Amino acid sequence: MHRTAVKKVVLEGVLDANDALAQSNRQVFDEAGNYVVNMMSSPGAGKTALLEKTLEQLRGKLRLGILEGDVQTTLDADRLARFHVPLVQVNTDSGFGGECHLDANMVRFGLSELPLPEIETLIIENVGNLVCPAEFKVGEDTRVMVYSVTEGEEKPLKYPLMFRSADLVLVNKVDLLQHLDFDLEQFLGNLDAVNPGVERILTSAKTGKGVEEWCEWLRQRRPVRQ
């Protein structure tokens, strides 16, 4: 497995460079007084729909900003534009075959387009992918994972890295539970097996369930400013 070994060394080099850039982003956030959420999930887990509800709910209560990451298109940013919050889209397709995650440099690139001092909490919506985004810090304070109950109970065991690195798991699309063979207790047991006691909120962007609790979670972490 020579190739794998070589690749590992190379990628560790890349990660070191990424960590340095993540720290530099962190300084920028600290100076502007931002609390930064790195939001990650599989494709289609419902990040954007949850953000729509979040922006609705927190209008006038928390000054949010959004950095949207996608391989291609501005579809998600277009959906959120109607809320008139500071918003920037970063497309990852200039890289190799469309990068499958945001890294610190891509985020840095997007930050220059945002009025950071006007923002209290910046939410970074990462590229939909259950593996790679977890490997790249971008300077965030916290990692929030959105998990759709349509994805099955066993995924925390099969893709432990992202579940392990999350500070909060939004268990989403619970309105569909009645139509699925999804054992919620088993899923939460698997989640605790890889990240014991991690905070979790059951949510549905469709019915609004859990959105208030999630927004309260965000408000409690609002940055303190002089």
- Cβ closer to a copy of itself: 121 or 129? 129
Contact residue for a copy of itself among 19, 83, 135, 184 (CB under 8 A): 135
What single-letter DSSP state applies at residue 149?
Answer: G
**Distance in angstroms (rounded) separating the CA atoms of residues 214 and 170:** 8
**Distance in angstroms (rounded) separating the CA atoms of residues 142 and 70:** 20
- Cβ closer to a copy of itself: 113 or 154? 154
Determine if 158 is a binding residue for a copy of itself (CB under 8 A): yes
- CA separation (Å) from 177 to 88, 96, 153? 34, 38, 12
Q: Assess contact for 162 and 40: CB atoms under 8 A.
A: yes
Contact residue for a copy of itself among 56, 59, 113, 131 (CB under 8 A): 131
Determine if 127 is a binding residue for a copy of itself (CB under 8 A): yes
String marking each residue 198-217 x if it binds a copy of itself according to CB under 8 A: --------x-----------
Residue 184 neighbours by CB under 8 Å, 6+ apart: 149, 171, 177
What sign for the dihedral angle of Cα 31, 52, 93, 167?
positive
**Distance in angstroms (rounded) separating the CA atoms of residues 76 and 89:** 9
- Cβ closer to a copy of itself: 27 or 73? 73
Q: H or E element: which one contains 168? A: strand 168-172
Residue 223 neighbours by CB under 8 Å, 6+ apart: 33, 34, 35, 120, 121
Determine if 155 is a binding residue for a copy of itself (CB under 8 A): yes
Determine if 43 is a binding residue for a copy of itself (CB under 8 A): yes
Contact residue for a copy of itself among 128, 145, 146, 168 (CB under 8 A): 128
Determine if 220 is a binding residue for a copy of itself (CB under 8 A): no
- Cβ closer to a copy of itself: 132 or 184? 132
Chain contacts with a copy of itself (rule: CB under 8 A)? 1, 3-4, 7-8, 10-12, 14, 17-18, 42-44, 70-73, 75-76, 94-100, 105, 109, 127-132, 134-135, 148, 150-152, 154-155, 157-161, 173, 175-176, 179-181, 206
